[in-house]
Amino acid sequence: NAGVTQTPKFRILKIGQSMTLQCTQDMNHNYMYWYRQDPGMGLKLIYYSVGAGITDKGEVPNGYNVSRSTTEDFPLRLELAAPSQTSVYFCASSYTGSGTQYFGPGTRLLVL
Amino acid sequence: AQSVTQPDIHITVSEGASLELRCNYSYGATPYLFWYVQSPGQGLQLLLKYFSGDTLVQGIKGFEAEFKRSQSSFNLRKPSVHWSDAAEYFCAVGAELTGGGNKLTFGTGTQLKVEL
């Protein structure tokens, strides 16, 4: 059982480039989340999804987009990368709305 | 809005000594409370959680935490620390999202160093 997997592990982007961070879970969880973690800070919620086809904004959604076409996958899209998006991105999933969130290993993104 | 405060940024303890990491939260209703641990370059692993019931919660790796409503605290404890416990520890409070799901609000973390 792989749990929550994320790709890539690390990426360097130039300002203005776009990329998609991949997140897949094999636990049949309905709820999925994207967080970002900045140095010395806790995680902040970017977007979340309560099931396939349903997404909603979190605390810091600007500059990001998401989609949820399947239960397993929840990709995060950066359209025009900015230095402020340099961060570590974590995907998480849970079986129920209030249940334990299981985190992936993270994607470290550097925007130069 | 909910918030979490972890007042200790860094803590150093000797191996075998006891440990207490502090966490204070602010939330209007009965909170869902969590402690996660993050090793360098890794994701977050759940240590324990409190939803309701017994206020003393047992977790993995010998950790426990006590929910004190009167003090708005959820401190993490371990009676004897092992060198492998060196990591960053995050306290979080969960709140229901309007569309469903549960938003976790994290503290800024406490970095634990263990001296041999």
Contact A94 B44 (CB under 8 A): no
Query: Which chain A residue shows the shortest CA-CA distance from B110?
Result: A40
For residue B103, the distance in angstroms to the closest alpha carbon of chain A comes to 7
Q: What is the average per-residue pLDDT within A8-12? A: 96
**Predicted confidence band of residue B56 (pLDDT cuts 50, 70, 90):** very high
Question: Measured between alpha carbons, how far is residue B53 from residues A25, A36, A77, B49 in Å?
Answer: 30, 32, 40, 11
- Taking one residue from A and the other from B, the number of pairs with CB-CB distance under 8 angstroms is 74
The verdict on B43 touching A (C-beta cutoff 8 Å) is: yes
Total residue length of chain A: 112
pLDDT per position as a tens digit, B74-116: 999 999 999 999 999 999 998 877 777 788 899 999 999 999 9
CB-nearest partner of B44 from A54, A56, A90: A90
Alpha-carbon gap, residue B28 to A80, rounded angstroms: 38
Q: Which of B84, B91, B101 is nearest to B44 (CA)?
A: B91
Q: Which of B9, B69, A52, B67 is nearest to B77 (CA)?
A: B67
pLDDT per position as a tens digit, B4-17: 999 999 999 999 99
Contact B106 A102 (CB under 8 A): no
A 10 A CB-CB count for B79 gives 11
Supply B59's token pair.
Answer: 């977790």
User: Can you give the pLDDT at residue A1?
Assistant: 64
User: Can you give the pLDDT at residue B33?
Assistant: 94
Contacts of A90 in chain B (CB under 8 A): 43-44
pLDDT per position as a tens digit, A27-62: 999 999 999 999 878 899 999 999 999 999 999 999
CB-nearest partner of A50 from B90, B100, B108: B100
For residue A25, the distance in angstroms to the closest alpha carbon of chain B comes to 14
Supply B7's token pair.
Answer: 């007042």
